[in-house]
Amino acid sequence: MQAVRYRPEIDGLRAVAVLSVIIFHLNNRWLPGGFLGVDIFFVISGFLITNIILSEIQNGSFSFRDFYTRRIKRIYPAFIAAVSLASVIASQIFLYEDFNQMRKTIELSTVFLSNIYLGFRLGYFDLSADENPVLHIWSLAVEEQYYLLYPLLLIFCYKKTKSLRVLRNISIILFLILTASSFLPAGFYTDILNQPNTYYLSTLRFPELLVGSLLAVYGQTQNGRRQTENGKRQLLSLLCCGALLVCLFVIDKHDPFIPGITLLLPCLLTALLIRSMQYGTLPTRILSASPIVFVGKISYSLYLYHWIFIAFAHYITGDKQLGLPAVSAVAALTAGFSLLSYYLIEQPLRKRKMTFKKAFFCLYLAPSLILVGYNLYSRGILKQEHLRPLPGAPLAAENNFPETVLILGDSHAGHLRGFLDYVGSREGWKAKILSLDPECLVWVDAKLADNPLCRKYRDEVEKAEAVFIAQFYDLRMGGQPVPRFEAQSFLIPGFKARFRETVKRIAAVKPVYVFANNTSISRSPLREEKLKRFAINQYLRPIRAMGDIGKSNQAVFDLVKDIPNVHWVDAQKYLPKNTVEIHGRYLYGDQDHLTYFGSYYMGREFHKHERLLKHSRGGALQ
């Protein structure tokens, strides 16, 4: 049995993968398919690790203790250093809710479950994907889950059969079973399985690692056999290399089969490229060049640090696309910290001999507990700041009237609390806020009509004398920019027609008041307040309005203007146009929600000029 030899061209391929990911994260328009670098990493990892395991199994030297000791030394120290840096920075500049979201991701990452947590999270107030500095560690969780399971299969099958061919066939069967799920579009997981973020799903990622593992098993079954002619190897290598580059430029992240069958093409191309390069081809020589190999050697640290700094840049600036100064700063910080990590952490610990117990306690358990403890402590400090009353904030207007009005919607209904408190106390009514699940924001089709939760909401509507509706319409149908997150994730198919029909049905039996949206702004003022501690805010552009709110609201108004018994409420016009604060108090809590003060102020100004509610007796919905 031959020892696994070092192949510099694979480090070169790692360099291509990590640089693709970094370019994509800096600006996805520069390299639309750059996210495929993660999938290339998965194939390389599956190939190399399986090769090592198979070699040790066949010569009788494999030990789970040794294997996981190597994994801990290779993965965890650099990981814990990078995540600790992210925690320290975030504890100083993040708001409480944002830090808490990041903290949960980190805690689950210490037990390699962060991808599962992220897969089931798509909360409206969750930290934006672009601003979560530890979002990218989901891929490490997928890998470690795979390496907890696949080595067991290798050991069991080889001990039972002593045949690599049987092992190969079993791996192929497993690959085909898992690949079958890749033919399901993302909509199946969101609509049927209620998993909004399929991108992180392990079962859709394991086939990519299995491609690399199958290549390793196949390669070991071919040892000693006559190899393909050099000309054919050259041609195959060039074709695979060219096709893989094309994938990086043409595959789009919004493909409905991503993750899924679409990603298998670049994975298979990567495997064929690895296979064809092993005997020396033009791509082998190019990827074996010293500078490229060096980038590949530090690729793990580059991957860990690049996203941390990109996410913080997004959080600080509020920009979806970073400008040249931010890109330059990110590049310099990533390079510097990656080199420090490689020379001070990765290399020394990889060479140091350790028992499993020592590695587990000193490199995994103790650092994890310290990190989790620090984050819990920081959360407590930030929570105290979060709960501390803001100077000058108005007290809730006293309102002892019965709840005769219902306001429906998402968090853009909830942030009207100050407005409703003030206006209701002056007009003699009180509103009950009912925050709806996204799928119940419109309920005109049979599927949603049968939803127990949607039926419960309908029952509440029937009890009310009047219904207010306030939503972040742009998030549901597209419109003005939504700075905090990818709006595609929240779009509701056919929203305009379904929203109109929902309003029409309610208005047939009781008055409906549809509220206009307020303007989104480029950056959270509360975040700006935190940044003032470090004088970072002086380097940022002033907070500005995003999009054309007049055009956006006109689109909603046009949907309902001809429906009898529907009233349009444009209270947002009473907010100041060129400032986000009044009397030293912020009007906005983030990029699109009003603070209680902002909502209260809007209600006070509205009441000076208009009356809102005209009472009417309600009826039953049809």
The stretches of 464-565 forming alpha helices (DSSP H) are 473-477, 495-507, 525-531, 549-560
93 or 409, higher pLDDT:
93
Give pLDDT, residue 535. Answer: 82
The pLDDT value given to residue 193: 55
Could you report the per-residue pLDDT of 348-397, keeping only the tens digit for each?
998 899 999 999 999 999 999 999 999 999 999 998 887 765 554 555 55
pLDDT for position 616: 44
Q: Mutual orientation of helices 138-161 and 37-58 as an angle, nearest 10°? A: 30
Predicted pLDDT of residue 124: 41
| Structure confidence at residue 171 (pLDDT) | 83
Look at residue 192 and tell me whether its pLDDT is greater than 60. no
**The predicted structure's pLDDT at residue 175:** 83
Q: Output the pLDDT for position 384.
A: 86
Q: What is the mean pLDDT of the chain?
A: 84
pLDDT in tens, 204-231: 889 999 999 999 988 877 765 556 667 7
Q: In the chain, where does the domain assigned CATH 3.40.50.1110 lie?
A: 403-609
DSSP state of 362: I
How many CA atoms within 13 Å lie on the side-chain side of 329?
A: 15
| Secondary structure class of 571 (helix, strand, coil) | helix
Inter-residue contact 305 to 334 (CB < 8 Å):
yes
118, pLDDT greater than 90: no
pLDDT at 181: 67
Least confident of 87-101, 133-147, 170-184, 520-534: 170-184
Q: Is the pLDDT assigned to residue 545 strictly greater than 90?
A: no
Give the pLDDT confidence score for residue 437 in this predicted structure: 66
Q: How many helices, marked H, and strands, marked E, lie in the chain?
A: 27, 9
Higher pLDDT, 45 or 440: 45
Strand-pair partners of 280: none
570-576: Cβ within 8 A, 24+ apart: 570/516, 571/419, 571/515, 571/516, 571/602, 571/603, 571/606, 572/516, 572/517, 572/518, 572/519, 572/602, 573/516, 574/602, 574/605, 574/606, 574/609, 575/518, 575/519, 575/601, 575/602, 575/605
- Give the global pTM: 0.84
Q: Is the pLDDT of residue 399 over 80?
A: no
| CB-count exposure of residue 184 (10 Å: 0-12, 13-18, 19+) | middle
Name every residue whose Cβ is closer than 8 Å to that of residue 284 and which is 6 or more positions away in sequence.
9, 237, 277, 278
pLDDT of residue 182: 62
Cis bond upstream, residue 259 (ω within 30): yes
pLDDT tens readout for residues 315-360 = 988 887 888 999 999 999 999 999 999 999 999 998 899 999 999 9
Mean pLDDT on 577-604: 88
pLDDT of 269 over the 80 cut = yes
According to the per-residue pLDDT averaged within each range, which of 157-171, 446-460, 557-571 is highest? 557-571
Q: What is the pLDDT of residue 285?
A: 93
The residue type found at 8 is P
Residue 125 pLDDT class (50, 70, 90 cuts):
very low
The answer to whether 216 touches 51, Cβ cutoff 8 Å, is yes
Q: Angle, nearest 10°, between helix axes 37-58 and 202-221?
A: 50
Cα 158 from Cα 379, distance rounded (Å): 48
Rounded to an integer, the average pLDDT of 518-529 is 84
What value does the mean pLDDT take over residues 606-616? Answer: 79
pLDDT in tens, 230-255: 777 788 889 999 999 999 999 887 77
Does position 2 have pLDDT exceeding 70, yes or no? Answer: no
The predicted pLDDT at position 59 comes to: 86
According to the model, what pLDDT value does residue 621 have? 44
The full DSSP string for 68-89 is: HHHHHHHHHHHHHHHHHHHHHH
Percent of the chain at pLDDT above 90?
A: 44
**Residue linked to tokens 């993302």:** 186
Find the mean pLDDT for residues 134-156. Answer: 92
Q: Among the residues of 226-352, which ranges form H helices?
A: 230-250, 261-277, 282-287, 290-297, 299-317, 324-341, 347-351
What per-residue confidence (pLDDT) applies to 487? 45
Which of 358-362, 389-393, 485-489, 574-578 shows the highest mean pLDDT? 358-362
**Rounded-to-integer distance, Cα 126 and Cα 109, Å:** 17
Q: At 433, is the secondary structure helix, strand, or coil?
A: strand
Per-residue pLDDT tens digits for 4-56: 788 999 999 999 999 999 999 999 889 999 999 999 999 999 999 999 998 88
The β-bridge partners of 582 are 585
What integer is the mean pLDDT of 303-321?
A: 92
Instruction: Provide the pLDDT confidence category of residue 527 given band limits of 50, 70 and 90.
Output: confident
Instruction: Give the dihedral sign, CA 77/83/85/87.
Output: negative
Tokens, residue 211? 């491609």
Which CATH number is 403-609's, of 3.40.50.1110, 1.10.1740.10, 3.40.50.300, 3.50.50.60?
3.40.50.1110
Q: Is the pLDDT of residue 310 over 80?
A: yes
